[in-house]
């Protein structure tokens, strides 16, 4: 399926729609109710335009072909309220009754670009949030009796809304008491506990004061799009940039990870190879208080939102940025040091595919196995489009790793670790599969017209033809499932782990700006400029964000969808994640499972006779494995705790419970350490990275050794 054609089709069709939309921007929306006690946040014209066009995109191009009706409006309202206040700490029952007037209006409002209702709801939420954070602050210095046998209900999702301020005050008083008793049993002095909790609440209040209309609009669109299906998502301009950088595994800037601490931007990490690293002018812990572009004037960024500060520091490669720095260890009042850096393209290698080599013994025979960990299916599409021959992609990175494993490390087998890999580029999933099969279909895609297109690996030859395995878990999704499913269907390798997530839908990433006539964007820029937005210059074109729109479903070459069902492993492990809480089959708005016709493909091998032997050998080991026994105990204990919604506020009881849990955990850890010949830990000791043990990985390598021995 050619999504470039889809985008071009959308561009042409939506020009008319967007023209009408911009003209409609002049229409008067409903008056947004004012909430006393807070600075009311209001939507702008850009958001109005984007909202109505998202309605049009969903109604015309979403795979569900769903119409936004009163029933959808009702679900959006419930989801939005739940997203704002999931544990019912802020809204009163009277607030919820007040919001009922919007229950069947959001569909028409969104179609008209009217966001007054959800923005009013958010302003009411902000009012309540500030009220109860302030109340919490007022209760921190109160006198508490930690010998009482009272309890605190921390999970109130299924409880009724509080009917009065006094009821909610009582809940918040217990919340503060719980936070204080938690700090108390950790052993710190009472005055330090009061000081620390006060700072925590004050910081919450400060962060709330920085919320802007982009944040609110993102929350509203999340509730809207996720009501339609779990994977149709809108990203506001800031989040769109982060999404693009994550997919590309690169960005342009100084090469430093930044964090906010006490309203001041701090260097959290220096990325190796970047300008900050090469200059040796910055150190982890340095604080940035001012930023200047080239020779321009400095801007004081103290107290800014972190994304606004980061936006000033990032910029096109080759451009210069000057920073005012308070070096780590010096007082904030110290004279700042001014440094200048030239921005570069930064490649995030630590978030890219990487390899390790492990040696194991099986039946007296040594084996070297290469493990390739793939955290996502990424691709720097812009770099590829611009002709960069060294553009970043999963397949390119893995090909190089395989070459090293074959020719330098001389491994006997390779295992691909796709655990917690949530997917990414469909093209990369197809290309990566092509490294392990000669040629042939990899995935089938059914579009809006129910037409099925078969995507194939057309490149002859393979990068690795030796023994191969794939590790998966419940968080392996989408592109991971395409890859693992194809490897399984072709008989190309052994799939080990747990049933995957079950995301069998395809999203097309559409820049909202790309489907808008430039002249309309210019008019919109002027409209926004009138309200103090992006400015009135015709060149100041607003960025409208990105929508990932579900436009197709994918199917394995056998014809079976991975939707809901995911990929079932050949060798099963217990799931570390609750299967009834995580997965496509837990999503109310998810598309159903179905099938299409089988593709014409030639399996590489028939592993049906080998798999039963591998399963038997695996089960025999598990029956004797202390790791497996303790893993099952841990999962059973976690299952018991799932239903807990309250905790004791009695200090002695809470401490006894915590001590008991810690003692059991330490005893189990030392049991395992003893089985591996390691010294026992004492309370408070930490496991070093070198001593950490991945039981699932270790057993998967043993399965691969079994596989090689049976094959021979």
Q: In sequence order, what are the residues at sequence separation of 6 or more whose Cβ sits closer than 8 angstroms to the Cβ of residue 37?
A: 127, 130, 131
- C-alpha–C-alpha distance, residues 180 and 379, integer Å: 47
Mean pLDDT of 466-476: 97
- Burial class, 243, CB count within 10 angstroms (exposed 0-12 / middle 13-18 / buried 19+): middle
Q: Is the pLDDT of residue 15 over 80?
A: no
Q: What is the pLDDT of residue 248?
A: 81
Provide the mean pLDDT of the chain: 89
Q: What is the pLDDT of residue 10?
A: 43
Q: Is the pLDDT of residue 8 over 60?
A: no
- Terminal CA-CA length for the chain: 41
3-state SS of 68-80? CCHHHHHHHHHHH
Mean pLDDT of 342-371: 93
Strand partners, 300: 290
Yes or no: is domain 350-512+544-607 CATH 3.90.226.10? yes
- C-alpha–C-alpha distance, residues 64 and 592, integer Å: 10
331 pLDDT band (50/70/90 cuts)?
Answer: confident
329 pLDDT band (50/70/90 cuts)?
Answer: confident
Span 80-109, pLDDT tens digits: 999 999 999 999 999 999 999 999 999 999
Mean pLDDT of 334-339: 89
Q: In sequence order, what are the residues at sequence separation of 6 or more whose Cβ sits closer than 8 angstroms to the Cβ of residue 461?
A: 438
Q: Where are the domains of the chain?
A: 45-228, 250-347, 350-512+544-607, 619-711
Q: What is the pLDDT of residue 511?
A: 87
Q: Is the pLDDT of residue 11 over 90?
A: no
Two structure tokens written together for 531? 């309200």
SS3 290: strand
Mean pLDDT of 297-314: 90
Q: Is the pLDDT of residue 24 over 60?
A: no
Q: In sequence order, what are the residues at sequence separation of 6 or more whose Cβ sits closer than 8 angstroms to the Cβ of residue 564?
A: 502, 504, 584, 585, 590, 592, 593
- C-alpha–C-alpha distance, residues 90 and 97, integer Å: 14
Per-residue DSSP letter, 169: H
Per-residue DSSP letter, 408: T
Quote the percentage of the chain above a pLDDT of 90.
73
SS3 613: helix
Q: What is the pLDDT of residue 346?
A: 87
Mean pLDDT of 340-357: 90
3-state SS of 627-665? HHHHHHHHHHHHHHHCCCCEEECCHHHHHHHHHHHHHHH
602 pLDDT band (50/70/90 cuts)?
Answer: very high
526 pLDDT band (50/70/90 cuts)?
Answer: low
Mean pLDDT of 393-406: 97
250-347 and 350-512+544-607: identical CATH topology: no
Lowest model confidence (mean pLDDT) among 67-81, 280-294, 506-520:
506-520
SS3 229: coil
CB atoms within 10 A of CB 65: 10
Quote the percentage of the chain above a pLDDT of 70.
92
Name, of 25-29, 279-283, 386-390, 394-398, the range with top average pLDDT: 394-398
Lowest model confidence (mean pLDDT) among 13-27, 100-114, 454-468, 519-533:
13-27
Q: Which residue has the higher pLDDT, 243 or 39?
A: 39
- C-alpha–C-alpha distance, residues 628 and 634, integer Å: 10
CB atoms within 10 A of CB 620: 10
273 pLDDT band (50/70/90 cuts)?
Answer: confident
2 pLDDT band (50/70/90 cuts)?
Answer: very low
User: Known catalytic residues?
Assistant: 478, 489, 503
Span 179-228, pLDDT tens digits: 999 999 988 888 999 999 999 999 899 999 999 999 999 999 999 999 99
SS3 434: coil
415 pLDDT band (50/70/90 cuts)?
Answer: very high
Two structure tokens written together for 170? 């009582």
Q: Is the pLDDT of residue 476 over 70?
A: yes
Structure pTM? 0.86
516 pLDDT band (50/70/90 cuts)?
Answer: low
Q: What is the pLDDT of residue 76?
A: 98
432 pLDDT band (50/70/90 cuts)?
Answer: very high
Span 142-192, pLDDT tens digits: 999 999 999 999 899 999 999 999 999 999 999 999 999 999 998 888 899
Contact assessment for residue 160 and residue 93, using Cβ atoms and an 8 Å cutoff:
yes
Q: Is the pLDDT of residue 40 over 80?
A: yes
Strand partners, 235: 546
Give all strands (DSSP E) within 52-172, no chain letters. Answer: 151-153
Q: What is the pLDDT of residue 498?
A: 97
Q: Is the pLDDT of residue 540 over 90?
A: no
524 pLDDT band (50/70/90 cuts)?
Answer: low
- C-alpha–C-alpha distance, residues 92 and 441, integer Å: 56
Q: Is the pLDDT of residue 410 over 70?
A: yes
C-alpha separations of 407 from 368, 394, 402 in Å: 13, 20, 8
Q: Which residue has the higher pLDDT, 566 or 242?
A: 566
- C-alpha–C-alpha distance, residues 5 and 60, integer Å: 16
Query: Which CATH architecture does the domain made up of 250-347 adopt?
Result: Roll (2.30)
Per-residue DSSP letter, 100: G
């Amino acid at each position: 399926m050619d999504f470039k054609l889809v985008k071009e089709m959308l561009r042409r069709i939506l020009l008319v729609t967007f023209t009408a939309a911009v003209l409609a921007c002049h229409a008067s929306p409903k008056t947004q109710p004012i909430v006393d006690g807070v600075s009311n946040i209001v939507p702008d014209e850009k958001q109005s335009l984007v909202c109505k066009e998202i309605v049009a995109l969903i109604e015309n191009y979403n795979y569900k072909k769903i119409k936004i009706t009163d029933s959808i409006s009702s679900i959006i309202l419930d989801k939005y309220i739940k997203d704002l206040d999931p544990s019912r700490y802020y809204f009163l029952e009277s607030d919820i009754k007040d919001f009922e007037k919007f229950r069947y209006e959001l569909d028409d409002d969104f179609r008209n670009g009217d966001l007054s209702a959800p923005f009013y709801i958010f302003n009411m939420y902000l009012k309540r949030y500030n009220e109860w954070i302030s109340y919490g602050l007022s209760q921190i210095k109160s006198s508490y009796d930690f010998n009482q046998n009272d309890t605190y209900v921390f999970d109130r999702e299924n409880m009724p809304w509080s009917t009065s301020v006094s009821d909610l005050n009582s809940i918040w008083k217990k919340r503060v008491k719980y936070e204080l008793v938690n700090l108390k049993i950790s052993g710190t002095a009472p005055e330090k506990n009061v000081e620390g909790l006060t700072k925590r609440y004050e910081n919450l209040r400060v962060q709330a004061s920085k919320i802007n209309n982009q944040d609110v609009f993102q929350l509203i669109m999340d509730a809207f799009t996720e009501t339609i299906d779990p994977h149709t998502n809108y990203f506001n301009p800031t989040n769109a940039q982060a999404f693009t950088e994550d997919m590309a595994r690169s960005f342009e800037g100084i090469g430093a990870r930044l964090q906010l601490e006490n309203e001041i931007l701090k260097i959290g990490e220096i990325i190796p190879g970047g300008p900050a690293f090469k200059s040796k002018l910055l150190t982890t812990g340095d604080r940035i208080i001012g930023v200047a572009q080239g020779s321009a004037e400095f801007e004081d960024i103290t107290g800014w939102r972190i994304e606004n500060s980061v936006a000033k520091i990032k910029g096109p490669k080759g451009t210069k940025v000057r920073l005012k720095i308070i070096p780590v260890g010096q007082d904030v009042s110290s004279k700042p040091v001014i440094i200048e850096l030239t921005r570069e393209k930064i490649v995030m290698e630590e978030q890219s595919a990487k390899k390790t080599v492990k040696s194991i013994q099986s039946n007296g025979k040594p084996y070297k196995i290469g493990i390739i960990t793939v955290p996502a299916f990424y691709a720097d599409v812009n770099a590829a489009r611009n002709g960069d021959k060294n553009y970043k992609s999963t397949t390119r990175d893995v090909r190089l790793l395989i070459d090293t494993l074959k020719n330098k490390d001389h491994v006997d087998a390779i295992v691909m670790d796709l655990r917690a890999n949530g997917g990414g580029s469909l093209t990369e999933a197809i290309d990566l599969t092509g490294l392990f099969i000669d040629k042939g279909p990899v995935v089938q895609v059914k579009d809006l017209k129910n037409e099925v297109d078969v995507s194939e690996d057309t490149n002859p030859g393979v990068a690795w033809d030796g023994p191969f395995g794939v590790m998966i878990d419940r968080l392996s999704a989408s592109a991971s499932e395409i890859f693992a499913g194809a490897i399984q269907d072709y008989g190309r390798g052994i799939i080990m782990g747990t049933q995957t997530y079950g995301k069998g839908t395809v999203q097309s990433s559409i820049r909202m700006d790309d489907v808008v006539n430039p002249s309309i964007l210019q008019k919109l820029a002027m409209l926004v400029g009138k309200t103090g937005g992006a400015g009135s210059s015709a060149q100041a074109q607003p960025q409208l964000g990105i929508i990932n729109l579900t436009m197709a479903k994918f199917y394995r070459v056998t014809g079976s969808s991975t939707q809901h069902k995911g990929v079932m492993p050949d060798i099963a492990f217990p799931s570390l994640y609750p299967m009834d809480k995580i997965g496509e089959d837990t999503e109310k708005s998810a598309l159903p499972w179905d099938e299409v016709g089988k593709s014409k493909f030639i399996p590489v091998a028939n592993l049906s006779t080998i798999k039963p032997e591998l399963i038997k050998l695996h089960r025999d080991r598990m029956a004797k494995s202390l790791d497996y026994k303790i893993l099952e105990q841990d999962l059973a204990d976690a299952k018991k705790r799932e239903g807990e919604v309250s905790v004791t506020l009695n200090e002695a009881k809470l401490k006894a419970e915590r001590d008991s849990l810690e003692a059991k955990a330490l005893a189990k850890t030392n049991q395992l350490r003893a089985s591996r010949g390691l010294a026992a830990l004492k309370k408070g000791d930490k496991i070093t990275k070198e001593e950490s043990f991945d039981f699932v990985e270790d057993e998967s390598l043993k399965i691969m050794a079994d596989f090689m021995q049976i094959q021979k």
